Amino acid sequence: MSIQHDKIRKLVQRRENARKGGGEERIAAQHAKGKMTARERLDLLLDEGSFEEFDIFVQHRCTNFGMENVRFDGDGVVTGMGTIDGRLVYVYAQDFTVSGGSMSGTMAQKICKVQDMAIRNGAPFIALNDSGGARIQEGICSLAGYGEIFERNILASGVIPQISGIFGPCAGGAVYSPALTDFTVMVKDTSYMFLTGPGVVKTVTGEVVTQEELGGAGVHAGKSGVAHFAAGSEQEAIQTIRALLSFLPSNNREQAPLLTCTDPVSRTDDSLNDIIPDSSQKAYDMYDVIGSIVDDGKFLEIHRKWAKNIIVGFARMNGRSVGIVANQPKVLAGVLDINASRKAARFVRFCDAFNIPLVTLVDVPGFLCGTGQEYGGIISHGAKLLYAYGEATVPKVTVTLRKAYGGAHITMSCKQLRGDINYAWPSANIAVMGAEGAVEVLYSKDLKLMSDKKQKEEYISEKKQEYKELFCNPYNAASYGYIDDIIEPRNTRFRVIRALEQLAEKKQENPWKKHDNLPL
């Protein structure tokens, strides 16, 4: 065998060993936990044969605590580029079989390299996390590595889509990279995120809590809102990432992929003419409306388990990606509260950053009242959503289905926040408040003077009817041009798509600024 062939044989063997991470025994231990390895996840995520790996032979440089005797090629993270549905993406996947996937200085350098490439080349960045946290033996070098990654997350924000998958532990400072990305997908029972673990929590606060109770997928998808998706398996989580990416452009200078639509643009749905109950106190399901108007009824919901009184997610209309924001009358009557405002505001800002038109379906009785909301800062949080809509320059089409009262009407993409096309159904009530509250305010003096109960009831009924005829309909707003047209519900799909087609080449810019001062 020639010297050259021997060198090639050694290269092939070393590469093969590197691909085994921490070795067969540790891979078996990973599988025993119901978890895939880093490379198995990437194989499932990326198009077959598309993965191009970088830095497979990188090793850590730590010599503390005997670490000079524990070295693996790749150093606990697999980095590179590949394609998803033929589109370029940059990825990293932490390898728990090597030092528990702990963050070293060299691991951070590998991650930062692909982050820089993603930003420079205008491609989405996907991070698959499975790590025990900072590599304690490296001290400040590990912490500095986290800082370098976070800085790139920040610089990439609004430039390229960033998606984080949590496939195991993600604790301490490590949680801030997913928090800085656009979307986070967790896996039930096998992934968790928290700043301090159950042991520290017990020591500091005396509270006894499990990892799942403290930072599991259910907690972050349903209570904290940190996770956008809680998948039932790793396979489902990876398919969710692929599905999510299909709605997004590769960067902020491009448009999302335009697909061929086989669902007729002119399709009508007579059930929408009957969906609004006769009583304004009764609920209906906004998902039925969304499913009726989007292409093939397909809707990828974001934050499905959190702040359910508002619905956000992606769909297509005539093949074009759109962001849907809709109040949900079935939950808290669709009222806006702190969490709903935060949820919708962040989604609206994402869509605006990546040129995705916004379709807003309105049925909102107002902002939630009470000391809990006021003490929690509902004023500032509600202002986030108002700010997001007012700042957005993407096409904005709004349809008011029923209630749109007071400040909540303004907040939900009204004409004064530069809503491009604002439609209303005949059932829309656009006013400062509902008839019941308005009569109590407008005629309070008259009502105090009435002692006869029957007389008072008749008076209230009469005045409520007067108020409803004047304000609790869409025609008053339409008379001022604040509603562009009142449409038959069955035609909503056609009218919204036609509006979006009209706005496809919209150009609008905000005044120059270094950055805004969103009410955080």
Q: Which residues are catalytic?
A: 172-173, 407-408
The Cα–Cα gap between 25 and 250 comes to 39
Closest C-alpha to 275, from 294, 287, 261, 289: 289
Token digits of residue 303: 């934050």
Specify which residues 423 forms β-bridges with.
Answer: 399, 485
Cα distances (angstroms) measured from residue 294 to each of 82, 153, 280: 31, 32, 26
The Cα–Cα gap between 272 and 293 comes to 10
Stated as kind and residue range, the H or E segment containing 364 is strand 358-364
In sequence order, the 6+-apart residues with CB closer than 8 A to the CB of 94 are 38, 76, 77, 101, 107, 128, 129, 130, 131, 168
Cα distances (angstroms) measured from residue 130 to each of 34, 100, 383: 13, 8, 36
Tokens 């950053």 sit on residue: 353
Token digits of residue 133: 């946290």
The Cα–Cα gap between 323 and 157 comes to 18
Token digits of residue 132: 């025990």
Token digits of residue 263: 């669902």
The Cα–Cα gap between 460 and 230 comes to 49
Q: How many separate helices (H) and strands (E) can be counted in the chain?
A: 20, 17
Token digits of residue 125: 């960045």
The Cα–Cα gap between 391 and 130 comes to 37
Q: From its phi and psi, is residue 419 left (phi > 0), alpha (psi between -120 and 50) or beta?
A: beta
The answer to whether residues 101 and 133 touch, using CB atoms and an 8 Å cutoff, is no
The Cα–Cα gap between 182 and 163 comes to 6
The Cα–Cα gap between 332 and 350 comes to 26
The Cα–Cα gap between 260 and 254 comes to 18
Tokens 């759109």 sit on residue: 322
What DSSP state is assigned to residue 345? H
Stated as kind and residue range, the H or E segment containing 360 is strand 358-364
CB environment 140-179: b (16+ within 10 A), e (fewer): ebbbebbebbeebbeebbbbbbbbbbbbbbbbbbbbbbbe
